Structure formats: structure tokens, C-alpha cells
């Protein structure tokens, strides 16, 4: 075997509660910010049914098993457990996830559970959401409830999925709830999320939970568009804004110095209270989850508008680059570069690749098959890149394709498909794609032949 992986390596795929479950008004679930988002205006799609995983999880788990998975990453919907974000526990929500977790384990699939993947209960947003530090106590209580109820069977936990996307999407681009464009708020939310993460790590230790806990980030390498000094400065800055800003606090309890100074001067944000950085340092996680999709190439931006992050530098396409249907550059080499840079800057930390995959417009052929060779190629190239990381001493413990089944893409609806399993969104019928069949061999062989 040319690309053999370590013994006990975990092979699986991932989803997030809101992107697959549907059943938004069932089982006593409360309203989330995404329910509000999809129903406040007609966007052409909603998450009401999504992939109907809420009703079909048993069938889905059967398919995961058929694809040889030994792990699966899911997230829990806060509003199914606490419909208002806090207060009375909704037993039906606990029952649902208990059944789901038990079903996975009965099929030999290790659950990797994300506590928060963006589906904030609406009631908490009404009270300021992540901007209101008081809400962090509700986050901790919610995590405590999960540890108490599922901690005997779950031993891989992650606190928050991609804070950068929530910060950038929700507070810079205004594309995700709460649809704000306010940099001061953005940086505060970012710091508060880091504090929430560290509080949960602390709780995990205090409760003597078995297993390990980490966070899921989506850092990316950024290269300058040219050798010009201006482009190099732009690339450094973009790397600070998209990568270091999120990696540094959870790894070493610091923010990149130049960027922090600039944020405080320009936006008076984030407000970091006394003891916060020590708290981040003291409550170190066990692993770093990495969602890796692409690299960015940055160039100097004439406008230089500091009210808009995106005008301080601009992202450009490279002429010979390979891009997905959504313009994301396919750049597997970047994975080693990124992980190597992270360990050089912040030290060693075990890694899970918690997401990697390709969003595409899939077609069904005349025989009803989905021949997604482009996805196989994408995943294969990234598995090789991951192998290189391991050969060079980076400890990677598992790999999760994004996504297990076709999901609701937050702002692209149901046309951007990522799944190893195809979902017909009219009939909700499932079918394993060519990529899923191919991935089965990878998991069974614990590696790649070529």
C-alpha cells in the first residue's frame, strides 16, 4: 500500500444538525436563528425538511456503515435540548440524540460530536447572542447537559465549528444571521466565542470526562499574488485576519499582535477583560480540528477601506489555478504548509481533519448513478497531502469528508452538493455516489493504493 495510514486512524464523514435534520418544528425543538433567516424572506429554500435526517437517521447510519466508516461527525442542535437556549431541558431532544448516538455505536461508528455548529436558539440572539458575554453561561450549561447525558458514550468532542465563518458571515459580510456589517461587533463575538470554548474545556476537565475535546477551525494558507512588497503585505494581513486570529488564541492564548493593536485602535474591539488571556492559556484543548478546503491568494487593494475587511486586501484567482464550481481553489499542497506553519508558530497539537470535500453540481446519469469522479480526485489528492503531513511528523488522528450526505448549503441551498451519498430532495431517496463507493475502499484498506 503506497499511502498507508497509522493503526486506529479514523475514517468518516461529517454533517451539521441544521444542514441535515429538518424537522424544525418537531420534537419540541425551539426556533433557531436560521429558521428565522429562511422564513423572514423568500430565499427559494429553507431548512424545514433539509435531508430529513431527523426521521431517516437509521437509514443514513446504515449507509455510513456500508461505506466502511468507523467514525461520523455530527453536531447537536442547541434548540432541541434547550428550546430557548436555557431553562427547561427538552427530553425529546435528548432522546433523539441518545438514539442517534446509540445507533452509531451499534454499527461500529465512533461519534465525534460538535456542540455548536451555528444554529443558535433565536431567544439567545434576542438577548444579544454571542455579543453578550452573559450568554456564555448558557453555553456552558448546555455543554454540561450534553456531557452528563452523552459523555459515557462520546469521547471526541468539539466546542464550536468555524468561529471565523460565524464572525465573517454574520458580522462582516452580513450574509449569515444576524446579518450585521460591523467590525467592532465581529471582533468581540470572536473573542467571546474563544472564551466560551475555553470555559467548556475547563468544564470538561472538572467533570472528569473521558476522551478528548477540541475546537474546529477553518484556517487557510494565504499567498501573495506577486512578489511585490504591497502584495506580500496584503497576504500577511489576510493570513492574520483569516488564520492567525483564530488559531493563536485557542492554541496559545494570544492574538496576533499587529492585528490586535490595529483592531483596538480602529474599532475599540475586542474588549478583553483582565484575566481572559490567562484563562485561554490555562484551558488548553486536546486537539485542533481543521476544516480544509482551499488556499487564498491575496493582492493589495487600492481602496484600503478599514470599515470593510475585504477592502483592506483583495483575494484574486490565479490563472493556472483549478477551481470548484463555487470558485474555491483546489490546492491540496496547502494542507501541509498550513499545518507545518501552525506547529512552527504555536507548537505541536494532535489534529483531526474535521472537514474536507467538494461542493459541486452533481448530475445523475441515465442509469441513475452519480459519477462524481471530480470529487474522488479532490478527496484522493487531499488524502495524499494528509499522508505527507503524517510522514513529516504531524499527528493526524482522523479524516472526515464533508459531507456524509447532501446537505443544505447555508447560502447556496440544495444545488451545492457535497455528499458521498446523494439525496433526491423531492423524494428524499438516498443513493451512494461513486465517491462513496470509492471511499469505502480507502477506509477498508486504511489508505490509498495510488
CB half-sphere exposure, 189, CA atoms < 13 A: 27
CA atoms of 422 and 444, how far apart (whole Å)? 21
Task: Establish if 77 lies at the interface with ligand GCO (CB under 6 A).
Answer: no
409 interacts with ligand GCO by CB under 6 A: yes
Where in 352-381 is the site for ligand GCO (CB under 6 A)? 355, 359
Q: How far apart are CA 256 and CA 248, in angstroms?
A: 7
329 binding ligand GCO? (CB under 6 A): no
Distance in Å, CB of 19 to ligand GCO, minimum: 6
- Per the residue annotation, which of 348, 355, 366, 395 is the catalytic one? 355
Q: Does 412 bind ligand GCO (CB under 6 A)?
A: yes
* Residue with smaller CB distance to ligand GCO, 45 or 279: 45
Residue closest to ligand GCO (Cβ): 409
Write the DSSP string, 329-345. B--THHHHHHHHHHHHH
Please confirm, yes or no, whether 355 is among the known catalytic residues: yes
Residue 16 touching ligand GCO (CB under 6 A): yes
Name the residue among 357, 353, 367, 334 with its Cα closest to residue 416. Answer: 357
CB of 385 to ligand GCO, least distance (A): 18
156 Cβ contact partners less than 8 Å away, ≥ 6 residues apart: 71, 110, 111, 112, 113, 211, 212, 352
Q: Which is nearer to ligand GCO, 103 or 355 (CB)?
A: 355
Is position 416 an interface residue for ligand GCO (rule: CB under 6 A)? Answer: yes
Judged by CB, which is closer to ligand GCO: 229, or 412?
412
Instruction: Report, in this order, helix, strand and coil percent for the chain, each rounded to 5.
Output: 45, 15, 40
The span from the CA of 74 to the CA of 14, in Å, is 6
CA–chain centroid gap for 366, Å, is: 35
How many CA atoms lie within 13 Å of 197's alpha carbon, on the beta-carbon side?
A: 35
| Site residues (CB under 6 A) for ligand GCO, limited to 138-167 | 161-162
Site for ligand GCO in 271-300 (CB under 6 A): 291
For the bound state, the minimum distance from the C-beta of residue 233 to ligand GCO, rounded and expressed in Å, comes to: 29
Active site residues: 355
Binding site for ligand GCO (CB under 6 A): 16, 161-162, 291, 355, 359, 402, 407, 409-410, 412, 416
Amino acid at each position: 500500500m503506497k499511502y498507508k495510514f497509522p493503526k486506529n486512524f479514523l475514517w468518516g464523514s461529517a454533517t451539521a444538525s441544521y444542514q441535515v435534520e429538518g424537522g424544525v418544528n418537531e420534537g419540541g425543538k425551539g426556533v433557531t436563528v436560521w429558521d428565522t433567516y429562511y422564513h423572514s424572506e423568500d430565499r427559494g429554500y429553507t431548512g424545514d425538511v433539509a435531508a430529513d435526517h431527523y426521521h431517516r437517521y437509521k437509514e443514513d447510519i446504515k449507509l455510513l456503515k456500508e461505506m466502511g466508516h468507523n467514525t461520523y461527525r455530527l453536531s447537536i442542535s442547541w434548540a432541541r435540548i434547550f428550546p430557548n437556549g436555557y431553562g427547561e431541558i427538552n427530553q425529546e431532544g435528548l432522546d433523539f440524540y441518545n438514539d442517534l448516538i446509540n445507533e452509531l455505536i451499534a454499527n461500529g461508528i465512533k461519534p465525534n460530536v460538535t456542540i455548536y455548529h451555528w444554529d443558535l436558539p433565536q431567544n439567545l440572539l434576542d438577548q444579544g447572542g454571542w455579543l453578550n458575554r452573559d450568554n456564555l453561561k448558557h453555553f456552558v450549561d448546555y455543554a454540561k447537559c450534553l456531557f452528563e447525558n452523552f459523555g459515557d458514550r462520546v469521547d471526541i468532542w468539539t466546542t464550536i465549528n468555524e468561529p471565523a465563518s460565524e464572525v465573517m458571515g454574520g458580522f462582516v459580510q452580513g450574509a449569515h444571521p444576524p446579518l450585521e456589517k460591523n467590525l467592532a461587533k465581529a471582533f468581540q463575538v470572536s473573542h467571546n466565542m474563544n472564551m466560551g470554548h475555553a470555559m467548556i474545556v475547563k468544564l470538561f476537565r472538572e467533570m472528569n470526562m473521558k476522551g478528548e475535546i477540541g475546537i474546529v477551525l477553518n484556517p487557510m494558507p494565504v499567498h501573495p499574488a506577486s512578489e511585490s512588497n504591497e502584495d506580500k503585505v496584503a497576504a500577511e494581513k489576510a493570513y492574520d485576519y483569516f488564520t492567525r486570529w483564530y488559531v493563536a488564541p485557542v492554541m496559545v492564548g494570544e492574538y496576533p499582535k499587529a492585528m490586535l493593536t490595529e483592531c483596538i485602535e480602529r474599532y475599540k474591539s475586542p474588549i478583553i477583560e483582565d484575566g481572559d488571556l490567562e484563562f485561554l492559556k490555562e484551558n488548553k484543548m486536546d486537539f485542533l480540528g481543521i476544516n480544509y478546503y482551499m488556499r487564498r491568494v491575496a493582492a493589495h487593494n487600492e481602496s484600503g477601506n478599514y470599515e470593510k475587511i475585504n477592502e483592506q486586501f483583495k483575494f484574486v484567482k490565479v490563472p493556472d489555478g483549478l477551481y470548484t464550481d463555487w470558485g474555491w481553489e483546489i490546492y491540496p499542497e496547502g494542507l501541509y504548509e498550513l499545518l507545518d506553519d501552525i506547529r512552527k508558530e504555536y507548537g505541536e497539537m494532535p489534529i483531526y481533519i474535521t472537514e474536507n470535500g467538494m461542493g459541486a453540481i452533481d448530475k445523475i446519469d441515465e442509469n441513475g448513478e452519480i459519477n462524481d469522479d471530480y470529487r474522488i480526485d479532490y478527496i484522493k489528492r487531499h488524502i495524499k497531502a494528509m499522508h505527507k503531513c503524517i510522514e513529516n511528523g504531524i499527528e493526524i488522528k482522523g479524516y472526515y469528508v464533508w459531507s456524509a450526505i447532501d446537505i443544505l448549503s447555508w447560502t447556496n441551498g440544495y444545488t451545492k452538493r457535497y455528499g458521498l451519498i446523494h439525496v433526491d430532495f423531492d423524494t428524499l431517496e438516498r443513493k451512494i455516489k461513486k465517491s462513496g463507493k470509492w471511499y469505502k475502499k480507502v477506509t477498508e484498506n486504511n489508505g490509498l493504493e495510488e
